[in-house]
Amino acid sequence: MKPRKKILYIPLDERPCNYQFPLDLASGTDMEIIAPPLEMMGQKKQPGNTEQLWQWLKEHAKEADGAVLSLDTLLYGGIIPSRLHQLTIASCETKLEQLAQLKQANPDLKIFAFSLIMRCPRYSSSDEEPDYYGEWGAEIFRQGYIAHRIELGIATEEEQSAKAQLDTALPKDVLEDYLARRAVNIEVNKLAVRYAKDRIIDFMIVPQDDSAPFGLTAVDQQKVREYVKVQGVELNVYMYPGADEVGCTLLARMINAFKGCKPLVYPHFASVQGPFVTPLYEDRIFYESLKYQIIAAGGLVASSMTDADLVLLVNSPGDKMMEAVAQETANAGYHVLRNIVELTEMADYVVHNLKKPCVVADIAFANGADLNLVRLLREKKLLFKLAGYAGWNTSSNSLGTCIAQGMIYNIYGETEPHLDFLALRYTEDAGYCSKVRHVVCDHMLPDYQMDYFEVDGLRGVAARLVREQLTEFVDRHINDEEHRVVIDDCYMPWSRMFEVGLRTHLVRTMPERG
């Protein structure tokens, strides 16, 4: 009997989407995936212990077959610290040299890494940015946005006048600090690309966190893209929108590689215009990101459903994307310009007639699932027959998660961990993101002097309220006569309401029929 492949995993941060999701997806496989103890990871703005993380990596790398590594964590201590650090390029270069040491100790170790393009939010908030971003964030974004358009020769006179005013208004020390950190991060991206050229990094993704067509992030992206081209590593270094799903994507790619699989994925859309919509928080039409998500996970786009190993059903918006919290007042772009009834019938056909793995990317709305689609899938008794499902945060977050789950299902089939992960997705994406979060924020937290950005710790009153509401939601909208979702734990990882930490499992209340 062949020994299990061992994969090391350094997450982007300590939140469940980054730390736990890949471990959950791998738990139903014949691969062993291990991550460093949670105590080594950071806590939001507090960076993880990079020295301990590197030491942990070196200790385990000698006997590992593969490693999926967040360079932002190994260098800066996590995704938020990557926006706050005061590191020099030289100190980052010294840290990165340890990648070569891993390969020297174990030349057969496959290293799949990712290193983010730093985001530049369009709003003023210091929740995930430097303190001064709470006062000057919108102005920093706007100045970079207009400067990019001026560089391209497309800025209006009004924009040029506005930039002149911003140049005067923005404090010099604020702008210098912000731009200096971005410059360091870009040079680090380039250093990592060189490691890919030298085959120390076998494959790399440079995700664009909360990107936009114009602005500082778009400019930085172009610098790195040109460098990738100059270094001749375009086939080994991918760049596309995303962040918190990349651990899942690279895990799926590594499993596919170890199994010798190159699955063909056929996408089918709920709307004709869906492939050409530019999702919120992203910089390009949806279909271009979709192709990258599929090949990054180790697959290819199929030319027909007949040829496909997996069918990816995309609940796309009809025209412009809205936030999930507003779906009860959705416009004609959702009710007229797309057809989720046909999408549901297609899911039923793929599952029962074609008998192929069927994945649903529920990306019609940003930051939550389409509750109407979930209802239709439940009516068809399809919720727990899918090969993958996701509908959380950005379009790319959802795509990467459900594609990774579907590719693992394609190899291992239906396992208990697979069903548990489906239960988690419906509880979190539909229950929390699309319903419970805003109900608790709007109608309950004010009574306890709490708000969206600050609640009473990991497992305080806010977590109790969320758990009560989620228990009611899954009982009414997810459970049926054959399946029951059990919520084992509920907590607020960063003591705020944007994300929730959940542990769930699925109980089959009756044997499957037929």
Mean pLDDT, residues 195-203: 98
Res 2: pLDDT: 62
In the numeric block, which tokens belong to residue 59? 């200790």
Range in 165-179, 321-335, 484-498 the model is least confident about: 321-335
Q: What is the pLDDT of residues 290-319, one digit of tens each?
A: 999 999 999 999 999 999 999 999 999 999
Res 211: pLDDT: 77
pLDDT, averaged across the chain: 96
pLDDT confidence band for 3 (50 / 70 / 90): confident
Q: Looking at the DSSP assignment, which residues form a beta bridge with residue 10?
A: 69
User: Per residue in 172-191, is it b (16+ CB within 10 Å) or e — as a string?
Assistant: eebbeebeebbebbbbbbbb
Q: Are 42 and 14 in contact (CB under 8 A)?
A: yes
Chain position carrying tokens 């412009």: 320
Q: Are 407 and 252 in contact (CB under 8 A)?
A: yes
Q: Are 142 and 215 in contact (CB under 8 A)?
A: no
Where are the extended beta strands (E) located within 296-404?
300-301, 310-314, 322-323, 358-361, 365-366, 388-390
Question: What is the distance between the alpha carbons of residues 196 and 358, in angstroms, rounded to a whole number?
Answer: 34
Q: What is the pLDDT of residues 205-259, one digit of tens each?
A: 999 887 788 999 999 999 999 999 999 999 999 999 999 999 999 999 999 999 9
- pTM equals 0.96
Is the pLDDT at 511 greater than 70? The verdict is: no
Question: What is the distance between the alpha carbons of residues 128 and 137, in angstroms, rounded to a whole number?
Answer: 11
Res 510: pLDDT: 67
Res 307: pLDDT: 96
Q: What is the pLDDT of residues 19-74, one digit of tens each?
A: 999 999 999 999 999 999 999 999 999 999 999 999 999 999 999 999 999 999 99
Share of residues in the chain with pLDDT > 90 (%): 95
CA dihedral 501, 506, 507, 508 (to 10 degrees): 160
Is the pLDDT at 1 greater than 60? The verdict is: no
Res 468: pLDDT: 98
Q: Are 362 and 391 in contact (CB under 8 A)?
A: yes
Q: Are 383 and 422 in contact (CB under 8 A)?
A: yes
Domains of the chain: 5-121+175-258 (3.40.50), 262-414 (3.40.50), 415-514 (no CATH)
Which residue, 4, 13, 5, 62, is CA-closest to 35?
13
Which residue, 16, 15, 12, 10, is CA-closest to 424?
16
Is the pLDDT at 125 greater than 90? The verdict is: yes
- Strand 300-301 and strand 237-241: the pairing is unpaired
Is the pLDDT at 380 greater than 90? The verdict is: yes
Question: What does residue 360 show for φ and ψ, rounded to 5 degrees?
Answer: -115, 120
Q: What is the pLDDT of residues 331-372, one digit of tens each?
A: 888 999 999 999 999 999 999 999 999 999 999 999 999 999
Count of beta carbons in the 10 Å neighbourhood of residue 160: 13
pLDDT confidence band for 514 (50 / 70 / 90): very low
Q: Are 213 and 283 in contact (CB under 8 A)?
A: yes
The letter for the amino acid at 301 is V
Q: What is the pLDDT of residues 435-460, one digit of tens each?
A: 999 999 999 999 999 999 999 999 99
